Amino acid sequence: MQTKRGGMSKKSQSALEFLTTYAWAFIVISIAVGSLYYFGILDFGKYLPQKCVFPSQFKCLDFSLDAAQVKIKLVNNLGEDVKVTEAQISNDENTLACTLPSVPFDWAHSKDIDLEFSSCSGGGYIPGSRVDLKISFRYYAVNTPSKPVHAVSGKINGRILSS
């Protein structure tokens, strides 16, 4: 079906040259962006929001993650005074070690407290990195005669500040 000699092959050759030129450019750009991400220059995790999620009984007001400590401000929305008997913090691998020196403690209704876990180490708790932490504590209502113990847990997702 060719009417001109070599007309069809010149069109296909130019199309193939066009595609290969832009394919190489796409590959080079992909390698450049991939290497920037690999070496940490493009860190998309730093644009994610930090969050503190607890059940409505204990609302999280604020938190901070420092090089060796975790500070959390919680408010008691249970409607009654409680006594916290145990509090701990962990990560997904359960290798994080922190101490909370003020356990057990009393917590009045509608009052906020500052929990300060100190001497945090291990478990990937590295300044500048992003962590997912699980905070759990056990408590009982002071005015309940049988004093059944309840457990509650919350999560913190954030970046650890450098000191």
pTM score, two decimals?
0.71
Rounded to 5°, angle at Cα 149 from 86 and 104: 30
Domain that holds residue 97: 48-159
Whether residues 98 and 118 fall in one domain: yes
Residue whose C-alpha is closest to residue 89's, from 134, 146, 38, 124 = 134
The pLDDT value given to residue 140: 95
Structure tokens at 159: 């970046």
At residue 113, the pLDDT reads 93
Same domain, 18 and 93: no
> In the chain, which ranges are continuous DSSP H helix?
7-38
Residue 1 lies in a domain: no
Report the pLDDT value the prediction gives residue 4, as an integer from 0 to 100: 54
pLDDT in tens, the chain (163 residues): 444 555 567 778 888 888 888 889 999 999 999 998 888 788 777 778 899 999 999 999 999 998 888 999 999 999 999 999 999 888 877 778 888 888 899 999 999 999 998 888 777 778 888 888 999 999 999 999 999 999 999 999 998 887 6
Q: Assess contact for 89 and 133: CB atoms under 8 A.
A: yes
Number of domains within the chain: 2
pLDDT of residue 135: 92
Report the 10 Å Cβ neighbour count for 65. 23
Residues 35 and 97 in one domain: no
Six-digit token string for 1: 């079906």
Flag whether 101 is in a domain: yes
148 in Cβ contact with 139 (< 8 Å)? no
